Amino acid sequence: MKIFKLPDLGEGLQEAEIVKWHVKIGDEVKADTPIVSVETAKAVVDIPAPYAGRIARLYGNPGDIAHIGAPLVAFEGESDAPDTGTVVGVVEVGKKVVADAPAAPAPATGGIKATPAVRALARRLNVDLAMVTPTGADGLITASDVQRAARILSEIGPIELIRGVRRTMAQNMELATAEVASATIMDDADIESWGPDAPTMLRLIRALVAGCRAEPALNAWYDSEKIGRWILKKIDIGIAVDTPDGLLVPVLRNCGERDEADLGDALKRLIVDARARKVPPEELRANTITLSNYGSIAGRYASPLVLPPTVAILGAGRIEKRVVVADDRPAIHRMLPLSLTFDHRVVTGGEAGRFLNAVIADLQKPL
């Protein structure tokens, strides 16, 4: 049989979830005919047949997780050469590998203390030792600890495996907390000069561009292995979008060179497409900085997470009226809370402060 393996889809991830098979065993297919839809990097991608032939076997069912390079489809006939799992047909490989998030690191278990017998008991009862609270001497997990955990798990029911967007989100957040040296500074912008119908997101995008121009060090990618950075000229802003499936971050391209009307139209399309899960994979990667307007839901300040290789994310909180000092007198003004998280491995506190000052100065300009 000719074995076709799950190809590298250019997403920087090591796995994909099978969403739907478009073929069944015994079907004759032509080259480049879609054979399966998989979800990876927060988008659904159709994988075409690498060549014509009859389907002999399908590896996996909808909902299963397939790993890059693992068998995906078997075709009848003898294989001429080993399948390398490379991209075929119309699926494109990402060329900016530095911008793709690597797979999240596996959880460390070296610090867990348990005897071989207790570990065997945990395997038999399907208990993850990392979830067990030890009561033995020096943090040793006992058989009673494992049995107690198994009893609790049986009462709360089976685990719900995280799939699709939420799975990718979980991996990315684990990567962000494991690798980035996060630091956050917070301040407020006085937006009393804004009109009642001011476009908040567009003002934030414009201000973010102003910040990048004032302090380009935050519009950058960082390579932790080489300990080097790329300070980028184009400003491609990742816009955090809340959806029922989880957090998506589609990218608004070249924000520094587009007028407000163009950006406004593009932003509306981006949000609609994100919530409809219609954003193409190439528009979910290679952002240079990120914007999260979480205040449209709730919250004043936050510590948003920076996802490598980017080095900064700006969060905007809930707009509210506050008593402030204006012209040496108390006054009630509308205030916009801001939280800037940056990767302190490569961005200094001074650079972050100057960036945030430039953002605030732009936001406080009258429309």
Q: Domain check: are 181 and 123 in the same one?
A: no
* Tokens describing residue 274: 């994100």
Q: Domain check: are 88 and 181 in the same one?
A: no
Number of domains the chain is built from: 3
Distance of alpha carbon 27 from alpha carbon 35, whole angstroms: 10
Say what the pLDDT of residue 87 is: 43
Say what the pLDDT of residue 105 is: 41
188 lies in some domain: yes
* Tokens describing residue 195: 């009109």
Q: Could you say which DSSP state residue 69 is in?
A: T
CATH for 340: 3.30.559.10
Distance of alpha carbon 287 from alpha carbon 55, whole angstroms: 39
Q: Domain check: are 256 and 201 in the same one?
A: yes
Say what the pLDDT of residue 277 is: 82
Distance of alpha carbon 22 from alpha carbon 299, whole angstroms: 44
106 lies in some domain: no
277 lies in some domain: yes
Q: Domain check: are 359 and 219 in the same one?
A: yes
pLDDT cut 90: percent of the chain above it: 54
Say what the pLDDT of residue 41 is: 58
| pLDDT tens digits for range 334-351 | 999 999 999 999 999 999
328 lies in some domain: yes
Mapped onto helix, strand or coil, the DSSP state of residue 98 is helix
Task: Identify whether the C-beta of residue 98 lies closer than 8 Å to the C-beta of residue 288.
Answer: no
Is the pTM here over 0.85, yes or no?
Answer: no
User: Residue 110: pLDDT above 70?
Assistant: no
- Cis amide linkage into residue 309, ω under 30° from 0: yes
Q: Domain check: are 121 and 73 in the same one?
A: no
322 lies in some domain: yes
Report which secondary-structure segment, H or E, holds 178: helix 164-179
Burial class (CB in 10 A: 0-12, 13-18, 19+), 268: exposed
Q: Which of 156, 188, 208 lies at the terminal end of a domain, its last residue?
A: 156
CATH for 55: 2.40.50.100
pLDDT band at 167 (very low <50, low <70, confident <90, very high): confident
102 lies in some domain: no
Locus of tokens 């009393």: 192
Say what the pLDDT of residue 131 is: 86
| Angle in degrees, CA 234, 235, 241, rounded to 5 | 145
Distance of alpha carbon 67 from alpha carbon 7, whole angstroms: 9
Mapped onto helix, strand or coil, the DSSP state of residue 82 is coil
CATH for 150: 4.10.320.10
Q: Give the end-to-end CA distance of the chain in Å, rounded to a whole number.
A: 66
Task: Identify whether the C-beta of residue 283 lies closer than 8 Å to the C-beta of residue 295.
Answer: no
Say what the pLDDT of residue 200 is: 94
Distance of alpha carbon 68 from alpha carbon 6, whole angstroms: 5
Q: Across the chain, what does the average pLDDT equal? A: 86
Say what the pLDDT of residue 93 is: 36
Say what the pLDDT of residue 109 is: 47
Q: Domain check: are 212 and 277 in the same one?
A: yes
Q: Which of 49, 64, 95 lies at the terminal end of a domain, its last residue?
A: 95
Say what the pLDDT of residue 12 is: 57
Q: Domain check: are 125 and 272 in the same one?
A: no
104 lies in some domain: no
User: Residue 256: pLDDT above 90?
Assistant: yes
Mapped onto helix, strand or coil, the DSSP state of residue 343 is strand
pLDDT cut 70: percent of the chain above it: 89
pLDDT band at 108 (very low <50, low <70, confident <90, very high): very low
302 lies in some domain: yes
User: Residue 179: pLDDT above 90?
Assistant: no
Distance of alpha carbon 183 from alpha carbon 211, whole angstroms: 17
pLDDT band at 136 (very low <50, low <70, confident <90, very high): confident
Q: Domain check: are 205 and 335 in the same one?
A: yes
Lowest-confidence region among 63-72, 164-173, 246-255:
164-173
Amino acid (1-letter code) at residue 62: P
User: Residue 153: pLDDT above 60?
Assistant: yes
What string of DSSP letters covers 225-281? Answer: TTTEEEE-SS--EEE-EEETTEEE--EE--GGGS-HHHHHHHHHHHHHHHHTT---G
Say what the pLDDT of residue 88 is: 40
Q: Domain check: are 245 and 322 in the same one?
A: yes
Q: Domain check: are 79 and 132 in the same one?
A: no
Q: Domain check: are 199 and 333 in the same one?
A: yes
Task: Provide φ and ψ at 78, rounded to 5°.
Answer: -85, 140
pLDDT band at 98 (very low <50, low <70, confident <90, very high): very low
**Beta strand extents in 192-307 (DSSP E only):** 220-223, 228-231, 237-239, 241-243, 246-248, 251-252, 289-292
Q: Domain check: are 193 and 259 in the same one?
A: yes
The domain in which residue 149 lies consists of 113-156
**Average pLDDT for 234-247:** 90
| pLDDT tens digits for range 270-288 | 999 888 888 887 788 889 9
Lowest-confidence region among 4-18, 155-169, 304-318, 349-363:
4-18
